Amino acid sequence: MSTSSLCPLIPAQNINPLGLLSGLLRWDPANGSTGESPDLLVYQSTSDLLADAPEELDAYQVIEQFRIIRLSAGENALAAPVFPSQILTNDLLHQIIFDFASPATLFRLAQTCQQARFAIQHYIRKTFDINKHLLRFFNDPLAFRSLQARTGTLISGSSALQFFDRTFYPESDLDLYVFLHERDEVGQWLISQGYTFIPNSIQDPDFAIEVLRARTQMNTHPYTRMRGVSTIYTFKKPSAHDPANDLKVQIIVAFRSPMEVILNFHSTVVMNVIAWDHAYSLYPQATFEDRLSLYLQPLRDRDYPAIQKYTRRGWSVTQDVPAYHPLTGIPLPSPHTRLFPLTPRWIADKHSWVLPLDTAGLTPPPALSPTSVPLSRDPCFVTSWQVFFTVSRSAIRRGVPPAGFRIKYEVLDAQGFYYSYVCAPGEPGERVNTAIALLQRLYVSLPGAGPWNEGSPPAFTSVFNTAPRPMETTSD
């Protein structure tokens, strides 16, 4: 299909233009064709633009851009397609438009024509810049990401959510999820970057001493009741941009695997992970499209403040897989498969949103032994799990809702493995075979292993993960 047949017409039912354009552009049915969809996207009036423009935008700068391309009613019949030729090619305008679009909306818009695809991929490269995201905490983001590659450290919690959601919470800190045997290196690196260790009431003020006291066995001390967590270290330093407030970084040390800790979060809204090479959102459809979060068993009193925090930030939290959207009442088709699949999951499957990160300038992971080859992906790549409906006996005793959904997994901690891996529950032989198959994908090359054919990328992530294609070879 040619570009000209797609670009002049962007049907409202396909890309939700009112939500996408946030009131800055409007369809004008009076000047449209006799069909169901209008022919042109028409800016109606300066007063309408000023009235509808969000407060944080420089409305007059936007108006100046629209003045250049404004169409009068008498010119509509002769005008060239406005949206692809003059809006998609204008960085100021399409930045505003895309900032208000959800990830799936961006994906659908990218399918309309070549100009849209190029514009959105340019926007993605500019917006999902992990180095820029980390500059708030580190003067040298590449050095930190090289540390991630060397130690398997993951970013999760609100920082990862902000990165995917293209938002900013001024009060948020940075949570790092670290393997037990890497805790000292990560902590010492933070100290070398000007951070100071802030002990709690039972920790030694000297980090070099406290790091030796980390629990190496689960359930040996009631230091923390977070499942899978050995200990937590807090570091602070004054902010260069806001001296009145300190920057806060926390190291959450896992007994076995950082992904085990992350899969035990209170709800799905914060199940997003940033590794050195990729960023993963485990439940993107629910989190960023429907703004829904599934609350997971077991119910714990300490989780309610966190749930309330994300409710204030715009998410609806449910304890069941919903059949209807809690705010709009609109039926949600196939909720089990579309929002919270109950089948075995993998961190990079078709239900996840996977963002490749720019690795230029990074020091890649080293070989884990003299006889092994370096890892080509972060160890979190070998993560699988499954959601089950469950009944909690402890919840019954505490008088809270006893039934709900829970993530189940098993930790593969085999002798000879440098890292521990989280795998979906199953028969031991099947579990090990699955883990080994995934482990093979971590390596650049493995004797006797054939090439891995990834096939077509998942529909949700293909526009983010693939390079632009020549127009003559695409079916867009």
Q: What is the dihedral of CA 452, 418, 256, 146, to 10 degrees?
A: -80
Query: What count of Cα atoms within 13 Å lies in the side-chain half-sphere of residue 286?
Result: 32
pLDDT value of position 362? 94
pLDDT value of position 248? 97
CB-based contact 371:377 (threshold 8 Å): no
pLDDT value of position 80? 54
Q: Both tokens of residue 328?
A: 């709009």
Neighbours of 220 (CB within 10 A): 10
CB-based contact 292:322 (threshold 8 Å): yes
Q: Give the start-end residues of each E strand in 239-277.
A: 246-254, 272-274
Distance CA 399, CA 310 (A): 24
DSSP string, 341-400: --S-EETTSTTSEEEE---TTPPPPPPSSTTSPPBSS-GGGSBEEEEEEEE-HHHHHHTS
- Distance (Å) of CA 34 to CA 31, 76, 220, 375, 425: 9, 14, 74, 59, 57
- Helix (H), strand (E) at residue 254: strand 246-254
Residue 146: φ, ψ to 5°: -65, -35
Distance CA 251, CA 154 (A): 10
The rounded percent of the chain whose pLDDT value lies above 90 is 36
What pTM does this model have?
Answer: 0.74
CB-based contact 123:95 (threshold 8 Å): yes
- Distance (Å) of CA 196 to CA 144, 191, 237, 242, 248: 17, 6, 6, 17, 10
CB-based contact 101:20 (threshold 8 Å): yes
Q: Which residues of the chain have pLDDT under 70?
A: 1-81, 216-225, 298-302, 322-337, 391-403, 415, 427-437, 439-476
pLDDT value of position 237? 95
Residue 138: φ, ψ to 5°: -135, 135
- Distance (Å) of CA 207 to CA 120, 211, 234, 252: 46, 6, 10, 14
Distance CA 186, CA 131 (A): 18
pLDDT value of position 23? 32
Distance CA 267, CA 274 (A): 18
End-to-end CA distance of the chain: 7
pLDDT value of position 449? 38
CB-based contact 108:14 (threshold 8 Å): yes
Residue 169: helix, strand or coil by DSSP? coil
* Residue 455 backbone class (left: φ over 0; alpha: ψ -120 to 50; beta: rest): left
pLDDT value of position 50? 39
Nearest to 257 by CA among 141, 387, 143, 414: 414
Q: pLDDT, tens digit, for every residue of 136-188? A: 999 999 999 999 999 999 999 999 999 999 999 988 999 999 999 999 999 99
* Residue 219 backbone class (left: φ over 0; alpha: ψ -120 to 50; beta: rest): left
pLDDT value of position 233? 96
pLDDT value of position 463? 38
